[in-house]
Amino acid sequence: MASIKDIAKKAGVSISTVSYALNGSSKVTDETCARILAIAKELNYVPNAAARSLKKKESKIIGAFLPDFSGGFYGDLLQGMKGTLIQKGYDLVVCSGPQSHRLLAEKLFDGALILDHTFSDEQLLNFAELGHRLVVLDRELNHPNINHVLLDNKAGASLAMEYLIDLGHRKIYVVTGPEGSYDSKQRIAAVRQTVERSSDVECIEIPGDFNRSGGERAGKQIAAEFAGPVAVFCLNDEMAIGMYDYISETDLEMGKDIHIIGFDNIELSEYIRPRLATIDYSKKKWGSLASEQLIKIIEGKPVENERIYVTLVKAESVKPV
Amino acid sequence: MASIKDIAKKAGVSISTVSYALNGSSKVTDETCARILAIAKELNYVPNAAARSLKKKESKIIGAFLPDFSGGFYGDLLQGMKGTLIQKGYDLVVCSGPQSHRLLAEKLFDGALILDHTFSDEQLLNFAELGHRLVVLDRELNHPNINHVLLDNKAGASLAMEYLIDLGHRKIYVVTGPEGSYDSKQRIAAVRQTVERSSDVECIEIPGDFNRSGGERAGKQIAAEFAGPVAVFCLNDEMAIGMYDYISETDLEMGKDIHIIGFDNIELSEYIRPRLATIDYSKKKWGSLASEQLIKIIEGKPVENERIYVTLVKAESVKPV
DNA sequence: CACCGGTGTCGAAACGATTCAAACAGAATG
DNA sequence: CATTCTGTTTGAATCGTTTCGACACCGGTG
């Protein structure tokens, strides 16, 4: 691979001149510049990322960290991030899993967007302390190098519960997320608040994991205890899908025996039948807002923590009692 | 951020000794080594990726290039890649879009897995010529630095067509992929071969784009020409979903007026109703096989081009005529 | 005691770029 | 003709690692 040195030799100029020419500095004559660029093209020259970021201490790359590469959930989010970042002159790469933490630590990126519970709060604060710029989407963290863009979980969960209650449901199962999840905690809190306000509602919490399998397990339990129509609020759509999967193999019927609402409005929710009621928000906007915040931090501009608003999606999976 | 130099100063040893200690070289005394490691921990030392890869000319990172971050299709594929690569001591990052080509060019990765039509064949051959190691999943390319792992498109397309024909369908629309797509070309070729073998089949090709919108357009055309039950082979599931979307707004019925089969068996296909008949293959295996090949190339071991086998998934979207 | 081999440590070069400050050439000025 | 200025080019240092070859030290050997 040709380096700047090869170009310099071939052009009979110094390395620094080549560098200036390549970077379009006005210092070098148009003629020299043209000659150097021609030679660069001829030699198939591409700058070496490692060398450049070693010297400049920036890579113009942003890392997005997700818990996994699965499914419809992250597509829009990433698209939102990508669009904004490209516009600001940055590239986006996506990483997943604890093994990839090193990529963050080793300063491969100019900043990172985090929606990944495999990072602990302490880890992230530690990274921030070492100078890494972060935007977190799944927790609240206060540090000058960290900003958070969060969903309005409480509004969403209240919306969902009120929807069920307004339609006359009085026995409501709530399938929760994993212990440590900030989103789950927030949603649970709002559920409890809403239930407290209406005296005659029976609310039963079932621990889940935000995955399909958790929804299946919960479905199993609900089916076993079944004694007449019930409502279920799955704290995310994935678990709702899991519950559909399980219930479809019993003689219970979704939208009739079991009235269900999810949270997230993932792509699948629109296609399953009966269509899943859920809480919607713009994943694309979430991604683009988070990216904007990150760039602001990197550029040293002031930032405010932002919030993403949510709306209720009514559908046939929930009917009046 | 602490560097190796800071550690050296604090430990009162030379830079090289620190480097050896950090890399677990046997040259340095256990005692010195322990002291250095303690100081490194204390200073929150993390090696600098840029510096290391500049010197070592390797990053232990593999890039996966996809056309977009969307949907259920890539999840399993990436999981397959990730699993294998981790095991071999490499990390995986995912890139998308033409802007990200530079990441490949700038030698950020030790190798790349390519399933992305935004790269031209010439570009890839050029990269290979410059020393980049590639495995392509969406084309055939012959170069010592490139390996390909391809689907058995022809078998799949034949399987699909024969399924329709065996069930008595004689008028078959085929919705194709974009012009340049290798997969589309292969599938079309097999379709034509199959049709030639059975004299009384009428086969009408409609250009598509492998996206949902292409399926919608094709659905519109088919609905407009509708004059009794027909079969449709969408060359991928995405387009089939698009066709469902369109047809659901007409008074035609999938699985009755329009019998449809797709290709890829994406996650959604299992959930739409009537369930979509399709061609299945293990995306996870595809990813892991491709990764294995890539590592072999990097390590200079001999490789053979491999093929992924496919199977037919029968479902209610296709009924006998 | 001179010599040798092995161990542990160090200095310096190198990787490929950027960038500061110095050097230089040539034109313009006094 | 000496001086200053402007504009272009250059040398050298630097970023944070790795790694080669040199070197000093030590115990053992002949």
Encode pLDDT of B11-63 as tens digits: 999 999 999 999 987 788 999 999 999 999 999 999 999 999 999 999 999 99
List Cα–Cα distances, B175 to B151, B222, B254, in angstroms. Answer: 19, 10, 16
Whether residues A273 and B268 touch (CB distance < 8 A) is answered with no
pLDDT-derived band at A155 (thresholds 50, 70, 90) equals very high
Q: How close B313 gets to chain A, by Cα (Å)? A: 19
Instruction: With cut-offs at 50, 70 and 90, classify the pLDDT of residue B68.
Output: confident
How large a percentage of chain A has pLDDT more than 70? 99
What is the DSSP pairing of strand B278-280 with strand B311-313?
antiparallel
Residue A69 pLDDT: 86
- Spatial distance between the Cα atoms of B286 and A122, rounded to a whole number of angstroms: 37
Residues of A whose CB is below 8 A from B92: 95-96, 100
- Architecture of domain B58-150+283-309 in CATH? 3-Layer(aba) Sandwich (3.40)
Nearest to residue A201, comparing CAs of A222, A173, A224? A173
- Report the share of chain A in percent with pLDDT over 90: 93
Inter-CA distances, A207 with A179, A204, A234, A248, B199, Å = 8, 10, 10, 21, 60
Instruction: Tell me the CA–C1' distance in angstroms for B27 and D28.
Output: 21
List the single best residue of B94, B211, B266, B291 to mutate versus A (max A Cβ within 10 A). Answer: B94
Tell me, yes or no, if the two domains A59-151+283-308 and A153-280 fold the same way.
Answer: yes
Which CATH code fits A153-280?
3.40.50.2300
Residues whose CB is less than 8 angstroms from the CB of residue B53 and which lie 6 or more positions away in sequence, other chains included: A50, B59
pLDDT grade, residue B71 (50/70/90)? low
Which chain B residue shows the shortest CA-CA distance from A244?
B271
Of B99, B131, B272, nearest to A86 by CB-CB distance is: B99
The string of pLDDT tens digits covering residues B123-182 is 999 999 999 999 999 999 999 999 999 999 999 999 999 999 999 999 999 999 999 999
Tell me the CA–C1' distance in angstroms for B39 and D25: 26
- The answer to whether B51 faces chain A, any CB pair under 8 Å, is yes
Span A161-181, average pLDDT: 96
Delimit the domains of chain B by residue range: 4-47, 58-150+283-309, 153-280
Mean pLDDT (chain B) is: 95
Residue A157 has pLDDT above 80, yes or no: yes
Chain A hits for B70, CB-CB cut-off 8 Å, are 72, 75, 79
Please give the share of chain B, as a percent, with pLDDT higher than 70: 99
Q: Is B90 in CB contact (< 8 Å) with chain A?
A: no
Provide CATH code, domain A4-47.
1.10.260.40
How many CB atoms sit inside 10 A of residue A46's CB?
Answer: 17
Subunit contact A97:B108, Cβ cutoff 8 A: no
A44 CB neighbours strand C below 7 A: no
The answer for residues whose C-beta is within 8 angstroms of residue B26's C-beta and 6 or more apart is none
Chains A and B form CB pairs within 8 A to the count of: 141
**Which class is A59-151+283-308 in CATH?**
alpha beta
CB spacing of B59 vs A70 below 8 angstroms: no
CA of B93 to C1' of D15 (A): 25
Question: Is any Cβ of chain B less than 8 angstroms from the Cβ of A69?
Answer: yes
Per-residue pLDDT at A106 exceeds 90: yes
